């Protein structure tokens, strides 16, 4: 296959893009171990968010005895914590990449600036619009789901998983949550691209053709309910409060990091922290491709995989014509 990258991008990584080696044949154990290591260890989104979840549990989480009864006090504490986390992550990334332009255009996918004006945006500008939906609706439903889960855990409706009872599954669940989310995200994303739902719900998120950190969780309230419903899996698969925190913070905060519009954060001119993927950046520009993530190969299986090459672009365009016809 040709490795000719697409034109029209300021930055494009090496192509063709590769899915997880766990789903290629023959299996290559060295590549599989490298994939796990690179996605989890040293300076990674997953490890940073696990650290944030630990800090949240230790200092900013009401005990289960308190969450057994619904009360304004502890619910407001959760909302305040989530507002602070989203503002810190999305706001910090926006300041770094766009306000202070600390990295210039290095590793930036789209050469265009974020839209300062635009009639498609609720508040007249992309950033204001994105902040409104993220902080207003997004943090509200994020908190609502946490309230449901911690109340349910305290009252025995969600099975409790503890380190003392099962240390293996306690650790394994942190590794499995991102895989579950990759599975869940693909299927609800395809669902949201059904024409009626796209027009009335998902189109709000797709106002962002050129994305920024505040774009990730900028969604219609109905989409927030569907998107954040990922955590309901714990009514079947037991969890500890730390797993709930990690699950929700991973799904919400990585929405900001993966929509930065940059491949990564440069430290001493090296990409030390991987952020947004070219895979999802192309979805925002071309729409009918790359509905999932690279952890699970659903797009390859169902013909919607755009690997970043000119050849893949031609196939996607032909597929779009067939669907339109």
Backbone angles phi, psi at 260, to 5 degrees: -65, -25
Reported confidence tier of residue 3, pLDDT bands at 50, 70, 90: low
CA 312 → CA 79, 261, 281, 286, 290, distances in Å? 43, 21, 15, 12, 11
H helix intervals, the chain: 29-40, 45-59, 64-67, 72-86, 92-94, 126-131, 139-154, 167-192, 195-200, 221-227, 241-257, 278-286, 298-301, 310-324
Q: What values do phi and psi take at 309, rounded to 5?
A: -100, 160
In this prediction, what percent of the chain has a pLDDT beyond 90? 85
* Cα(194)–Cα(291) distance, integer angstroms: 12
pLDDT tens, residue by residue, 112-171: 999 888 778 888 799 999 999 999 999 999 999 999 999 999 999 999 999 999 999 999
Average pLDDT over the chain, rounded to whole?
Answer: 94
Task: Say if residues 252 and 138 touch (Cβ distance below 8 Å).
Answer: yes
Taking the model in full, what pTM does it have?
Answer: 0.95
């Amino acid at each position: 296959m040709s490795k000719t990258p697409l034109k029209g991008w300021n930055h494009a990584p090496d192509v063709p893009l590769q899915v997880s080696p766990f789903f290629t044949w023959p299996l290559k154990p060295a590549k599989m171990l490298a994939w796990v290591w690179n996605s989890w260890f040293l300076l990674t989104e997953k490890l940073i968010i696990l650290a944030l979840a630990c800090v949240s549990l230790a200092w900013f989480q009401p005990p289960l005895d308190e969450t057994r009864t619904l009360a304004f006090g502890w619910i407001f504490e959760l909302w305040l914590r989530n507002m602070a986390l989203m503002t810190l992550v999305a706001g910090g990334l926006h300041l770094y990449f766009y306000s202070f332009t600390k990295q210039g255009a290095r590793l930036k996918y789209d050469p265009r600036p974020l839209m300062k004006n635009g009639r498609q945006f609720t508040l007249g500008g992309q950033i204001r619009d994105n902040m409104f939906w993220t902080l207003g609706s997004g943090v509200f439903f994020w908190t609502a789901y946490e309230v449901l889960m911690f109340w349910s855990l305290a009252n025995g409706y969600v099975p409790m998983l503890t380190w003392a009872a099962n240390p293996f599954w306690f650790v394994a669940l942190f590794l499995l949550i991102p895989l579950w989310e990759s599975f869940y995200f693909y299927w609800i994303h395809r669902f949201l691209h059904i024409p009626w739902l796209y027009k009335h719900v998902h189109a709000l998120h797709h106002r962002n053709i050129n994305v920024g950190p505040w774009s990730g969780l900028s969604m219609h309230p109905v989409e927030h309910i569907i998107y954040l419903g990922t955590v309901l899996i714990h009514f079947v698969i037991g969890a500890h409060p730390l797993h709930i925190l990690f699950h929700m913070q991973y799904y919400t905060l990585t929405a900001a990091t993966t929509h930065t519009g940059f491949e990564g954060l440069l430290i001493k001119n090296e990409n030390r922290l991987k952020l947004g993927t070219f895979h999802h950046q192309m979805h925002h520009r071309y729409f009918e491709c790359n509905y999932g993530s690279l952890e699970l190969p659903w797009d390859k299986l169902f013909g919607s995989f755009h690997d970043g090459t000119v050849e893949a672009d031609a196939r996607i365009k032909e597929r779009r014509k067939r669907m339109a016809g």
